[in-house]
Amino acid sequence: MFASAGPQATPRRARIMPTATAAAPRPNQVSHADMANAIRALAMDAVEQAKSGHPGMPMGMADVATVLFTRFLKFDPLDPKWPDRDRFVLSAGHGSMLLYALLHLTGYADMTIDELRRFRQLGSRTAGHPEYGLAGGIETTTGPLGQGLANAVGMALAERLMNARYGDALVDHHTYVVVGDGCLMEGISHEAISLAGHLRLNRLIVLFDDNHVSIDGPTELTVSDDQLARFRASGWRATAVDGHDPEAVAAAIAAARTSDLPSFIACRTTIAYGAPKKAGTAASHGAPLGAEEIAGARVKLGWSHAPFEIPAAVLDAWRRAGARGAPAHRAWRERLERAPREARAAFEQAHETALPAAAAPAIAAVKAKFAEAKPKIATRQASGDVLDALTPAIPTLIGGSADLTGSNNTRAKSIAVVTRDDYAGRYIHYGVREHAMAAAMNGMALHGGFIPYSGTFLVFADYCRPALRLAALMGQRVIHVMTHDSIGVGEDGPTHQPVEQLASLRAIPKLQVFRPADAVETAECWALALAHSGPSVLALTRQAVPAVRQAHEAENRSARGGYVLAEASRARRATVIATGSEVALALEARELLERDGIPTAVVSLPCWELFDAQDRAYRDAVLGAGIRIAVEAASPFAWERYVGDAGNVVGMTGFGASAPVADVYRHFGITAAAVAAAVKARCR
């Protein structure tokens, strides 16, 4: 199997390398070992050249990856976006060279040998961790451990959902994900595994790099979990194999593919397999091996080629593996062409970024209805009404909630629940698993075919945050309905009253945070979230708010992020800027101030991100040259940019309190009178 002999200097439980006799390739025949060693060599050489990176993991998992890519994975490097390809996710993203080597060897045009030479350099496609969008074949951005696993759960779920809609002829693929000890130690892995087991996502196959090493040393230092028992307890099929025995790995993958449960394969490997001194040790995890060790590895592996040099026969064998999928791809295209016209149109529309034609009129109609009825309702309720209108118009909207369906108003009337027995539904009960929910939504969006939206309380945005950040980094359209958005939560008290969440979410680049003031703005913000090529959070109230937009306007006024809702009666002297539930309060303050002879405008600012993107003249005109006071029942953090000083914000300076809503607002001084007083104090 391997072209080298002799035991390695590895710690307890590390593997002994097979003998040379078993490995010797026959003349003119490229062996499995040659192909795996090509990955190993590229990984150690690229890390060495960059003087940074993680050689151990790719060298350890090279055998497993070779088996997967040469015998099982359905893919076509000529069309990395082929919808029915198998998905391959490297959750242990620090081992990025494994993926880059595979993409190069199998013939993805983006992944040239020069890109491998430029590993980790500015502007290369070979960033330190795989970044979605930098090269075809990178299915998601990984690096924060555990995220890729939860993304893969979302992808495997999306596959089943698409399969239920379009059948085996168009949708019939697997999702493979490589995880390490670190991924399985992370809390998100529990949520993700549990969800996948519950939904019986049998197209999901986890390949565990079971090398017993992490950064601090042997995993004995940190973890004693029986991973097989853990997965089985969550409803998975779980097996263990020698990760350096290609036939054993192949048999395990073949069995997993026919399982009616999601599958976990613990592949016992040696980190940095082939490195004479560092194999099996944490020293190989995240640092170049060094010239001497690399030279020793070349001898041990029987790999005599120069850095970045892949012998023609080996490269040819890999390219043939890369070409394996072409006939299946062609056959799939033919099936798509032969599919009934309506099904084909729907399938293609589902993969478009543009919304179906029915979406815009549906939003316009619900907005007009709100403007007419002027309901005094919570914005979460308005959002529920918007979803009732939108879900029939946009069949790719897939909703859900982390066990707060009734509170989040996320289950639209027309949509059925997704179950393990019926994936035709459009609503996912994610359970109390906010983190996996957000990461699985990323996976669904990345898979294609869906626009996922979710629900939880705004205060639990913190439980979603790492996945929100990655959605923003990857530019994925996911929409998070986050209700109970302030001290307006009332009696549930400070644990449930978000204070700093708005500021911290606004700090995430490319995440749009919307805090609509009433039903009309809620409809507008939904339209904007759907049009955004990135994630959005809709921060919505628990409590009823009056209609502040009294007349119907076809224009989406929220589209510029902020606008003058009520102009001063005469030359403007003061501007009160507010978001969400505090816009009504700002209007009350304006009444008080106008009565006292201070011409005051009210600005509604539902989305900072969009407002900040406007030109200076617009922003200056909206915010006005006079006194500026902001009111938002949240931390004043970052409001300085609009009002100059945190002292000009009527907001929260600490955590909230448990009491009826009106009492809490009064207690914290977030009232129209306080806003008016703040303006007056600055008039002198």
Ligand X SMILES: Cc1ncc(C[n+]2csc(CCOP(=O)(O)OP(=O)(O)O)c2C)c(N)n1
Pick the closest to residue 166 from 448, 419, 389, 428 (CA basis). 448
In one letter, which amino acid is 534? G
Cβ 267 to ligand X, closest distance in Å? 11
Is residue 246 near ligand X by the rule CB under 6 A? no
Q: Which is nearer to ligand X, 143 or 624 (CB)?
A: 143
Q: Which is nearer to ligand X, 150 or 529 (CB)?
A: 150
Q: Which stretch binds ligand X (CB under 6 A): 50-58, 116-124, 306-314, 623-631?
A: 50-58
Tell me how far apart the alpha carbons of residues 366 and 392 are, in angstroms, rounded to a whole number. 13
How many chain residues bind ligand X (CB under 6 A)? 21
Catalytic option among 48, 115, 139, 434: 434
For tokens 């109390």, what's the residue? Answer: 432
* Ranges within 264-303 binding ligand X (CB under 6 A): 271, 285
Is residue 55 near ligand X by the rule CB under 6 A? no
Query: In 223-282, at which residue ranges do the beta strands (DSSP E only) sit?
Result: 237-242, 263-268
Tell me how far apart the alpha carbons of residues 17 and 272 are, in angstroms, rounded to a whole number. 12
Among 34, 159, 209, 518, binds ligand X (CB under 6 A): 209
Among 65, 68, 145, 675, binds ligand X (CB under 6 A): 145
Do the Cβ atoms of 1 and 23 come closer than 8 Å? yes
Looking at the DSSP bridge assignments, the partners of residue 456 are 482
**Longest CA span, the chain:** 96
| Contacts (Cβ under 8 Å, ≥6 apart) of 75 | 69, 82, 85, 86, 88, 106, 137, 322, 325
Give the DSSP H or E segment for 95: none
Concerning whether 434 is annotated as a catalytic residue, the answer is yes
Considering only CA atoms, give the Rg of the chain: 28
Q: Which is nearer to ligand X, 95 or 651 (CB)?
A: 95
Cβ 93 to ligand X, closest distance in Å? 7
Cβ 271 to ligand X, closest distance in Å? 5
Among 70, 96, 126, 211, binds ligand X (CB under 6 A): 211
Strand arrangement, sheet containing 263-268: 87-90, 175-179, 204-210, 263-268, 237-242
Tell me how far apart the alpha carbons of residues 161 and 640 are, in angstroms, rounded to a whole number. 46
Pick the closest to residue 92 from 7, 8, 210 (CA basis). 210
Is residue 613 near ligand X by the rule CB under 6 A? no
Q: Which stretch binds ligand X (CB under 6 A): 98-106, 213-221, 432-440, 564-572?
A: 213-221
Among 53, 107, 144, 452, binds ligand X (CB under 6 A): 144
Q: Which is nearer to ligand X, 263 or 284 (CB)?
A: 284
Q: Which is nearer to ligand X, 33 or 267 (CB)?
A: 267
Q: Which is nearer to ligand X, 54 or 429 (CB)?
A: 54
Name the pairing type of β-strands 536-539 and 479-483.
Answer: parallel
Site track for ligand X across 90-109, x = CB under 6 A:
--x-xx--------------
Q: Which is nearer to ligand X, 188 or 382 (CB)?
A: 188
Cβ 272 to ligand X, closest distance in Å? 9
As a whole number of Å, the end-to-end CA separation of the chain is: 86
Is residue 182 near ligand X by the rule CB under 6 A? yes
Q: Which stretch binds ligand X (CB under 6 A): 105-113, 176-184, 335-343, 513-521?
A: 176-184
Tokens of 276: 């004479």
In one letter, which amino acid is 50? A
Is residue 244 near ligand X by the rule CB under 6 A? no
In one letter, which amino acid is 652? M
Cβ 212 to ligand X, closest distance in Å? 8
Q: Alpha carbon 371 to chain centroid distance?
A: 35
Residue number with the smallest Cβ distance to ligand X:
180
Is residue 180 near ligand X by the rule CB under 6 A? yes
Q: Which is nearer to ligand X, 148 or 656 (CB)?
A: 148
Q: How far from 162 is each of 140, 426, 665, CA to CA, in Å?
A: 19, 11, 47
* Binding-site ranges for ligand X (CB under 6 A): 54, 56-57, 92, 94-95, 143-145, 180-183, 186, 209, 211, 213-215, 271, 285
Catalytically active residues, by annotation: 434
